[in-house]
Amino acid sequence: MKKAVFVSGASSGLGRAVAEHLSSRGYTVYAGARSFDREDVSPPAGCVGVKLDVTDTASVSAAFRYMLEKEKEIYALVNCAAFFTMGSCEEVPPEELARIMNTNFIGMVRNVQAVLPVMRKQGYGRIINFSSINGVLAVPFQGAYTASKHAIEGWSEALAQEISRFGIDVSVVEPGDCKGGSQKYRHRCSASADIASPYYEYYKAGTDKIHSDEENGMDQLRVASAVCGLLDSKKPPYRKVVATLTQRSSIWLHKFLARRTFNGIITDYYAPKK
């Protein structure tokens, strides 16, 4: 029997790539996204599209209820739903930070809490939460996104400690920059993008560098294949970094360098070139 997997954030980007790859590898994939009720947005190839708004508890409950009406079990949940707003920590409004946290972090929590009673009853299951290299370290003008990913890291670690006794495995995926991310989920803070902002020169240089790194990043299939490997593994690791050698080096430097030294390197990397 095919194993049933639910993937959130599956309308574009890594979520869509993961859903399509898992379907091609023989999993029955329920792909969740807010936009699947629109005629111009189709589900990933080979997947069952499900309307899912991770910021709405009723929508989350309805999505997993729909899946369980058709499947006898939920083998795995893969949480990919996320967006970010690029802006200085001073200028991104608290309301926007709350919106990011509600989608990226609390939305993930809603999904996990919806599937846990089912997985505990089954006595098995897999939960894969998408963090990022930004879940380990920060870069300029992604403070809000970084905060949401750090929250995912801490919460997922506690989750893993609590539910292993029920036969449920938790893994956190930390991807580096990937090509083909949807720009509609990459917002810009209007205050930081205003030439009158005290951050404007550095904001423009930093966000241009972020965009360039994404355009020249990894193929999304590399991340999707790593997720499939976690689901196929008998003993999946808790943490899976999927990144180039250069991206991995930033994690090592963050771990071993004095913070002032590391912050100086990152600041210079994203600063305007003279």
Q: Across-strand partners of 29? A: 5
Q: Which residues contact 204 (CB under 8 A, 6 or more apart)?
A: 193, 272
Q: Which two tokens stand for residue 109?
A: 């929590």
Alpha-carbon distance 144 to 154, whole Å? Answer: 16
Say if CB 170 and CB 156 are below 8 A apart.
yes
The catalytic site residues sit at: 11, 131, 145, 149
Q: Where are the beta strands (DSSP E) in the chain?
A: 4-8, 28-33, 48-51, 76-79, 84-86, 125-130, 168-175, 186-188, 239-242
Of 184, 97, 91, nearest in space to 146 by CA: 97
φ, ψ dihedrals at 244, nearest 5°: -75, 170
